[in-house]
Amino acid sequence: MQRSYLDRKEAWAKRMAEKGITNSKERSESRLPPGQHTVKKLPVLDLGIQPKIEKSDWILQIGGEVENELNLNWESLMEFDYFEETSDFHCVTTWSKYDCKWGGVRMLEILDRVRPHSGAKHVLFISYDGYTTNVSIEALYSNQTLLATRLDGEPLLKENGGPVRIIIPHLYAWKSAKFVKEIQFTSELQSGYWEKRGYSHSADPWREERFIDKEVPGWKD
């Protein structure tokens, strides 16, 4: 059944792109991005796999185009300063959840520790469930971009991507990888799971950057 859900989502992306629903030219200044509607409860969307990862088994590898590669376990992650950020969360499937209170480690702290090379322009997130997604390195330079470990004051549950997930609230939610296990800084663009299926690389909700502007080989009908 889950495979069918993924097939339907890929086909939906293709239909929307073919209708011309791609990128807006001007950035909206509204709190609610164009084409979105609000929901009261955070929906759960993933690849149909919710790996059970004990904190004692969790490892995050950070490498690629950096001066200092970093391997973090739960104890070493907890040594970083903890921050809470309240932000809105916008899904490409048109729902938005206001005032999500995420807690965790700011990616600015990680950047300061690993020191990306000047040629590092892109970031690839790899998850324990096999999911991947890519962002520009600029997406990490925000106080609200987190390695999140808590939601609304409670430990992050596996259905919400726990024990640790990425949160980038100024991009569509598929960029906020759940169950994160690896972060790779790269000089060349590497497309992630949904990007290979036609979803946008930049993913700005206020420009409605849902899909790329050309057909992607391998899209399903």
> Is residue 62 classed as helix, strand or coil in its secondary structure?
strand
User: Average pLDDT, whole number, for the chain?
Assistant: 88
Q: What is the mean pLDDT of residues 178-183?
A: 97
pLDDT at 219 (0 to 100):
42
Confidence of residue 1 (pLDDT cuts 50, 70, 90): very low
Q: What is the pLDDT of residues 104-122, one digit of tens each?
A: 999 999 999 999 999 999 9
> What is the percent of the chain with per-residue pLDDT over 90, rounded to a whole number?
76
* End-to-end CA separation in angstroms for the chain: 18
Q: Give the amino acid at 171.
A: L
pLDDT at 170 (0 to 100):
97
pLDDT at 144 (0 to 100):
96
> What is the percent of the chain with per-residue pLDDT over 70, rounded to a whole number?
83
Cis previous bond, 33, omega within 30: no
Tokens of 2: 């889950």
Confidence of residue 221 (pLDDT cuts 50, 70, 90): very low
Across 40-54, 87-101, 128-142, 168-182, least confident range:
40-54
Tokens of 182: 């690896």
Q: What is the mean pLDDT of residues 40-61?
A: 87
pLDDT of 169 over the 80 cut:
yes
Assess if CATH 3.90.420.10 describes domain 2-44+53-207.
yes
Contacts with 138 (C-beta within 8 Å, 6 or more apart), sequence order: none
Q: What is the pLDDT of residues 8-36, one digit of tens each?
A: 556 655 655 555 455 555 777 899 999 99
pLDDT at 153 (0 to 100):
96
Confidence of residue 166 (pLDDT cuts 50, 70, 90): very high
Q: What are the extents of the domains in the chain?
A: 2-44+53-207
